[in-house]
A and B are shown apart, each in its own frame.
Chain A
């Protein structure tokens, strides 16, 4: 059994818009090993959430390959897809929108078991729902509550319990803590850590918050406008970022410290429009160390050391 659980090769996802093709995900490749976490970080509109959804086939890809345990996810038929979804789950960003307001907590958590016929009778279902609630730290007295009666942290626990119900090996975490307050965020992050160890889970962890990403991930991929610009193990990317965008992103984070002053790189302008992007490096317009070559030639993601990849003509 190979150690690689998920392998994504040259994945593309374009959306048709009235103004032209929107390149949400444009030719990205990465792998995740069993039991590890890849953190996917980037600003809004960089395609990180789309990546998560295409990998789970909640969205159909435009081109590329997704191999899950060696099997081609994009070629699955209906039946195989259903089996795949028992193995690969997702936790959503918004604990308000991702739970059906007309269903009780127990109904929501039990639904995957019902749909996939994992249980034969009500008593067994009930037992398993209560066990799941216990696993994610939800008191069983909330079983008949509706989501709107609970706070954000508890709702997110419901979402996690639902994702765990089918015993998946892989979970896409789509900004699972960004809607939560810091003190609750820390509780949920710790819970995810524990669950990963207990159930040997593999995560694709999507976030815009580098602090969160660093906390949870072994490897980190930085996305900008549909491309992975840098990918590396977590410590080197923070100690020595190579790509100018990574540098700027790191320096832009306000750090809750007064003893350390870091140099600020303030980027010019806004993230450009992903509709029909011009050739050349996507970061060209905002880059502070651009060269002529960057304007016309799109840099490829090149391996610079055993664990590091960077897509830049200047930084290597």
Chain B
């Protein structure tokens, strides 16, 4: 058996103690907790969108056209009003959270996975590998994201895939750089040398000693990256090269409402606020996480 971990008692006890410390520090920051609450709320809204704003023909739905109901200002029945097709904006904002969060999570997973691998290899092995990978990252950084998105959207069909690719490739360098920087720091620590001295292989050293000590900055980066991804997805959809109508997407809704902004402010106001609150909350949470992971920074 190649790899027995010295898992002496139970796994849960030891895992808890470290996360516990982070959580304890996180909990103490009101700003971070506000961010977390809003984010959790948004996720719940996205999960239960069909319950909160069902589209079953009886209620005004996010996808049911009702031209008699066009451009209603916010009122008791439509608390956020209706759009140019008479669809309920509240329902569309609620369902839009699904799209935004989904895009955000896919983008983060995509760019984080690639970025972590690239950064870890570059940081740990250095020399030629580092030069090739980091120059590649520099090339990615030198392409304006909008240009990249437009080219990808032009090459493929505009939609979810093109957003994920465009925003994901745009965000990849961030993860790679954060990862490389922390691997470089961890690599110089004495416990890495200690691992060599007891005969550990490079693979084991990366897996058991380097990666676990690089997780914290990556988690923080991922939280901020989620905000970044949602914002860019909205921006691309606004420009018409992302999610296409009639799918309720916040950026696309902004784009639709843009034409009517003079008379019907509510059409841009509410999706705009949804984006702003989401981004704001994620960034607050990210800041809180960073302080919680590394309390020394704050002193």
Contacts from A to B (Cβ < 8 Å): 53, 56, 58, 81-82, 85-86, 89-90, 92-94, 97-104, 106-107, 109-112, 114-117, 119-122, 125-126, 129, 143-144, 146, 159, 162, 165-166
Interface contact A112-B1, CB-CB below 8 Å: no
A58-B193 in contact given A116-B198, A126-B8, A166-B198 (Cβ < 8 Å):
yes
Query: A-B contact count, CB below 8 Å?
Result: 98
Are B5 and A114 neighbours in the complex by a CB distance under 8 Å? yes
Contact B8 A144, beta carbon cutoff 8 Å: yes
Q: A112-B199, A115-B199, A146-B17 are in contact. Are A92 and B5 (CB under 8 A)?
A: no
Partner of A144, one of B13, B197, B200: B13
With A and B bound together, what is the CA distance between A2 and B212 in angstroms? Answer: 45
Q: How near does chain B come to A96, taking the closest CB pair, in angstroms?
A: 9
20 residue pairs of the A-B complex, CB under 8 angstroms, read: A53-B193, A86-B199, A90-B194, A92-B190, A99-B191, A102-B212, A106-B6, A106-B8, A107-B7, A109-B6, A114-B5, A115-B204, A116-B198, A125-B6, A126-B6, A129-B6, A129-B8, A144-B8, A144-B14, A146-B18
Interface membership of B75, Cβ < 8 A? no
Q: Are A107 and B5 in contact (CB under 8 A)?
A: yes
Residue of B nearest to A102 (CB): B212
Q: Is the CB of A89 within 8 A of B191?
A: no
Across the interface, do A114 and B196 meet the contact criterion of CB distance under 8 Å?
no
Structural contact, B196 and A89, CB atoms closer than 8 A: no
When chains A and B are docked, how far (Å) is the Cα of A99 from the Cα of B1?
25
Which residues of B are in contact with A by a Cβ distance under 8 Å? 1-9, 13-14, 17-18, 189-191, 193-201, 204, 208-209, 212-213
> Do B199 and A162 touch (CB < 8 A)?
no
Question: Considering only CB atoms, which chain A residue lies closest to B3 in the complex?
Answer: A114
Report the bound CA distance from A295 to B97 in whole Å: 78
Q: Enumerate chain A residues within 8 angstroms of B14, measured Cβ to Cβ.
A: 104, 144, 146
B108 to chain A, nearest CB (A): 23
Complex Cα–Cα for A82 and B195 (A): 12
Which of A82, A102, A126, A144 sits near B199, CB closer than 8 Å? A82
Q: Which residues of A contact B3 (CB under 8 A)?
A: 114
